[in-house]
Amino acid sequence: MATGHFIKALLLSGACIATLAQASYAQAGYESPERIAATAKAYIAARNPWKDMNTEVTADRLDPRSKLAKCDAALEAFLPPGGRIKRRTTVGVRCTSGQAWKIYVPVSIAAYTKVMVARYPIAPGSLIRAEDVSWSKRDIATLGYGYLRSLEGRGGYRARYSIAQGAVLTPNMVEADSAIQKGQKVYLNSNTGGIKVTMAGIAMENAPLGGRIKVKNLSSGKQLEGVVESDHQVLIP
């Protein structure tokens, strides 16, 4: 028999066995393990935080000795008290009709999307450029520290510490690059009573886009504090 035909026959055989197993459970007056598992999976599939991505939800195989009375109503899934949906979650499934019962089913989820990984080792303090990273499909449900979605914004990013080749870039690995450098000439913008005033100043320290910075007003010599609006402008409240 050709390999393709053999695999097809094997799959059909498995489907037939599963159908017969469900039928035997029903005839014996027991609830189908497949129906219980499907209820738990559907509950997680509809509520997990990655449901808009490409996900795979699987339920652990139920103990064949767990023979529960067939439920005449729809099965209900729920989370145990204090439970929350994560990569691996225990889901309760219960029957509230006739001979009531409940059982707990471990359910796992994998969520796939493309994330940035280091193309080669990145040294501490290095500015991370687009050519330093590549995009790779990963299961983000396993990424406890999250993942960096873009290198844009906040003036770019520098590596906080050494990043290994192939490592997924996470927010704790990077820090905002300085949009303004200490000693740089900047424009100080102030809105007072609806009137915008612009003055020349000098940055007293490095600061990222959106960060607070100390500057000196070149006209008055006063030291002020403001918020970095761009790579050359500071808003003075």
- Identify the CATH assignment for 179-235 out of 3.30.500.10, 2.60.40.10, 3.30.470.20, 2.30.30.760: 2.30.30.760
Residue 224's alpha-carbon distances to 227, 228, 234, 236, in angstroms, are 10, 12, 10, 8
The 10s digit of each residue's pLDDT in 86-127 is 999 999 999 998 889 999 999 999 999 999 999 999 999 898
More confidently predicted of 12 and 72: 72
Q: Running DSSP on this structure, what letter comes out for residue 170? A: -
- Which pTM was predicted? 0.60
CATH code of domain 112-178: 3.90.1210.10
Residue with tokens 């600061």: 207
Nearest to 209 by CA among 175, 174, 179: 179
Q: What's the confidence (pLDDT) of residue 28?
A: 60
For residues 99 and 114, what is the distance between their CA atoms, to the nearest angstrom? 47
Q: What's the confidence (pLDDT) of residue 20?
A: 46
Residues 6+ apart with CB under 8 A from 181: 203, 206
Q: Reduced to 3 states, what is the DSSP secondary structure of residue 228?
A: strand
